[in-house]
Amino acid sequence: METDNKPKLAVALDKYSTPVSVLVGAIIIALALTYSGGTLPQQGVAANPGQPQPDAAAVQKQLENIAPVTAEDHVRGNPDAPVVIVEYSDTECPFCKRFHPTMLQVMNEYGADGKVAWVYRHFPLDQLHKKARTEAVALECAGDQGGDDAFWKYTDRLYEVTPSNDGLEASQLPKIAGEVGLDVAAFNTCLTSGKFDAHVEADAKNASATGGSGTPWSVIIGKNGKKYPLSGAQPYESVKQLVDLALQGK
C-alpha cells in the first residue's frame, strides 16, 4: 500500500490535517468575533464578549456593588439629580475619548435643567495603557486644588489633547494644569506625592466589582434606584434612551 512507505508523521498529517485546520480556523474566527468590539479589556479580566454571559438578575446583583456617591467623587451637574450616570474611564483609552463628547452632549440636554448628574471614576487599564494611572492621579490633583470645576476643566482638556493609547507626553500634564489656571508647582508636588493612589485604586476595584471588564464602563442609576449597565462608547441615541427610561423610573 502507498501509506506503508510513508513516515508515521506524514500519515498522521494526512489523517488529521483537515479537522485540525478547521478547528484552528474556527478558533480564529471566534476570537475575531469575540474581540472585534471596541471596548478594551482590563488586565486579568476577560473581556465581556468572551465570558459566559450572566443573566439579568446576576448582572443587577453585581451593579448593587456600586460605591455610593460621596464628597470624594467628582460630580458634574445637579448632585441631587434624579438620574446619575457613573462613568468608569481610562484617559488613554481611545473609546473613552470618543465617549467623552457623548457624555457632554447628555449633560447639555439633561444637565442644564438638573435631570442628570455625571460622576467620573477612574478605571485605568494598566496592561494596555501604562500612563493612564498617572493621568488619573493628575485629574485628582486638579480636583484637589480647584474643586470639581477644576477637575472637569482638566478632564475635558486632557481628553481633548490626548491622542490615546499612551500617546500623551508626561510633560503635557503640568502644561494642562497651567492652562486651566492651576498652580503648576503645587500640581507637580501632588502628582508625585502618592496622595491619590489609593483613591484611584478603589475606583478601579469598584468598577470590576460592578461587572466592568473594559472601558468606558457606565452605570445609569434611575430615580427609583434601578441600575442599567452600559459597556463601551455607545452612540448618543442609546444613552438617551436609557436616561429616558431611568427618568421614567422604569
Please identify, using beta-carbon distances, which residue of 32 and 198 lies nearer to another protein: 32
Is the separation of the CB atoms in 94 and 106 below 8 Å? no
Q: 84-116 in b/e burial notation, b at 16+ Cβ within 10 A?
A: bbbbbbbbbbbbbbebbebbbebbeebbeeebb
Count the neighbouring beta carbons within 10 Å of the beta carbon of residue 8.
Answer: 8
Residue 144: CB minimum distance to another protein, A: 31
238 forms part of the interface with another protein (CB under 8 A): yes
Residue for grid cell 447628555: 106
Number of residues that bind another protein (CB under 8 A): 61
Please identify, using beta-carbon distances, which residue of 172 and 234 lies nearer to another protein: 234
What does the per-residue mask of binding to another protein show for 54-83, with x meaning CB under 8 A?
xxx--xx-----------------------
Peptide bond before 124: cis, by omega within 30 degrees of 0?
Answer: no
The strand pair at 116-122 and 83-89 is best described as parallel
What is the spatial distance between Cα 77 and Cα 234, in angstroms, rounded to a whole number? 21
Position among 3, 13, 51, 170 found at the interface with another protein (CB under 8 A): 51
Q: Which of 232, 231, 227, 250 is nearest to 65 (CA)?
A: 227
49 forms part of the interface with another protein (CB under 8 A): yes
Which span (4-12, 42-50, 73-81, 174-182) binds another protein, by CB under 8 A?
Answer: 42-50
Residue 34: CB minimum distance to another protein, A: 5
124 forms part of the interface with another protein (CB under 8 A): no
110 forms part of the interface with another protein (CB under 8 A): no
Position among 88, 95, 120, 187 found at the interface with another protein (CB under 8 A): 95
223 forms part of the interface with another protein (CB under 8 A): no
- Record the cell numbers describing residue 53, joined without a space: 454571559
Position among 77, 124, 143, 211 found at the interface with another protein (CB under 8 A): 211
Count the neighbouring beta carbons within 10 Å of the beta carbon of residue 129.
Answer: 24
Is the separation of the CB atoms in 229 and 210 below 8 Å? yes
- Record the cell numbers describing residue 9, joined without a space: 508523521
Residue 85: CB minimum distance to another protein, A: 13
Is the separation of the CB atoms in 184 and 178 below 8 Å? yes
CA atoms within 13 A on the CB side of 233: 17
Which span (26-34, 85-93, 138-146, 184-192) binds another protein, by CB under 8 A?
Answer: 26-34
Residue 218: CB minimum distance to another protein, A: 10
- What is the contact surface with another protein in residues (CB under 8 A)? 18-19, 21-23, 25-41, 43-56, 59-60, 94-95, 98-99, 102, 127-128, 211, 214, 228-235, 237-238, 241-242, 245, 250
